[in-house]
Amino acid sequence: MRRAPLRCAGRYAARMSKPVRDSLELPERLLLGPGPSNVHARVRSAMSRPLLGHLDPAFLALLDECQDHLRTLFGTSNAFTLPLSATGSAGMEACLVNLLERGDRFVVGVNGVFGGRMADVAERAGAEVTKVEAEWGTPLDPGAMAEAIERVQPKVVAFVHAETSTGVRQDPAPIAEAARAAGALVVLDCVTSLAGLPVELDAWGIDAAYSGTQKCLSVPPGLSPVSFSERALDAVRARKTPVQSWYLDVGLLGGYFGGERVYHHTAPISSIYGLTEGLRVIAEEGLEARVARHAEAATALVDALSPLGFKPLVDAVHRLPMLTSMQLPDAVQERGEADVRRVLLQEHGIEVGGGLGALAGRIWRIGLMGENARLDRVEQLASALTSVLD
Ligand code: PLP
């Protein structure tokens, strides 16, 4: 049998990596809702690079780099820090189903949709759930959280750093301190905060945290950066029952995402290319500069929309920089807020988010996340809105 000359492999590789036009016809949008946000051009380009195998040393070197960058962003030295192969909700589920067993006590802060989702996930895992609620648009009261923790003596306490359904920012340190004092593990939702606000898991005493790629990282949805402390991993090892989710079991995930690099599931190669490139972009800008850019854009947004009658829902001290919830002026209410959003999208290519739950029809959620936290995006929105409402 004749053997194919070796140079065929090179020709094949060249053919496979040639740029080609795809056939999808999609509109360009400026994504100023609660996420996803627009993706950096370098990330788009990285995601179209030729595939490597998920055990290829060249890919594993990239994965090492990705995990290192994630540790920096999360403010942690946790070895178990990785991009989970699913969206932020899977990160939430991974934290809760690994740390909770049937009958375990769980205290959760609920001042919006995502605290409520954590309560739901924990109930499905069979935990005894105590909710500490606060009015939507206000932060959790650390005193009320501390009182519930003291009374319930839970195994796990959880809350949201940046509540995307309302635009409220929570100070994690006092709640984490109260939980630690009672010997509880602390879980923090960082889906919207990561890369737009400082996150300091180790300094705050957080045991498990999760995020998403589609907000301030400016990477498409599909991965959930997660981090577990040694204390959290010890709690998982001490479980009496196996973790009910095979896919999200941190003991099994550690086989691939830890030092051994053995197969657990096929890693989403292209998504990890995109995330790593996105994390390089963030490292080049510097976290401090990026956080300052988000704060500056949010201030400009409030200034630009107030002459049109929009008012922020949340007090300035508790307001998120990357997601501003705006109460709507009469001109928007009278026209129908959903109709105004439709015209913004179809005629100006700009997406903003409506309210959720009790805030549906009352607010818009305007995201200036990652690449979109820039003054020219604010100007574009203000001028489109001025023309729509004229
Ligand atoms: N937590 C918060 C604070 C969020 O904003 C979101 C999504 O918007 C999630 C969790 C769930 O993430 P995903 O939609 O990526 O599953």
**pLDDT recorded at residue 311:** 98
Question: Low-confidence residues of the chain, pLDDT below 70?
Answer: 1-19
Domain with CATH 3.40.640.10 in the chain: 41-283
Nearest atom within ligand 1 for CA of residue 165 = 5
Domain 41-283 sits in CATH 3.40.640.10:
yes
CATH pick for 30-38+287-389 out of 3.40.50.300, 3.90.1150.10, 3.40.630.30, 3.40.1550.10: 3.90.1150.10
CA of 110 to the centre of ligand 1 (A): 14
The reply to whether ligand 1 has any atom less than 6 angstroms from the CB of 219 is no
The reply to whether ligand 1 has any atom less than 6 angstroms from the CB of 35 is yes
CA of 89 to the centre of ligand 1 (A): 6
The reply to whether ligand 1 has any atom less than 6 angstroms from the CB of 212 is yes
Q: Which of the listed residues 192, 210, 226 should we mutate to test ligand 1's pocket, taking the one with most ligand atoms within 8 A of CB?
A: 192
**pLDDT recorded at residue 10:** 58
Domain with CATH 3.90.1150.10 in the chain: 30-38+287-389
Q: What's the sign of the alpha-carbon dihedral 67, 69, 71, 74?
A: negative
Interatomic CA distance for residues 87 and 114, integer angstroms: 14
CA of 221 to the centre of ligand 1 (A): 10
**pLDDT recorded at residue 2:** 47
Q: Give pTM, 2 decimals.
A: 0.95
**pLDDT recorded at residue 358:** 86
The reply to whether ligand 1 has any atom less than 6 angstroms from the CB of 88 is yes
Tally the C-alpha atoms within 13 A of residue 376's C-alpha that lie toward its C-beta. 2
Residue the block writes with tokens 């991965």: 223
The reply to whether ligand 1 has any atom less than 6 angstroms from the CB of 191 is yes
Nearest atom within ligand 1 for CA of residue 89 = 16
Average pLDDT taken over every residue of the chain: 95
Does a cis peptide bond (omega within 30 degrees of 0) precede residue 142? no
The reply to whether ligand 1 has any atom less than 6 angstroms from the CB of 113 is no
The reply to whether ligand 1 has any atom less than 6 angstroms from the CB of 220 is no
The reply to whether ligand 1 has any atom less than 6 angstroms from the CB of 160 is yes
Nearest atom within ligand 1 for CA of residue 162 = 3
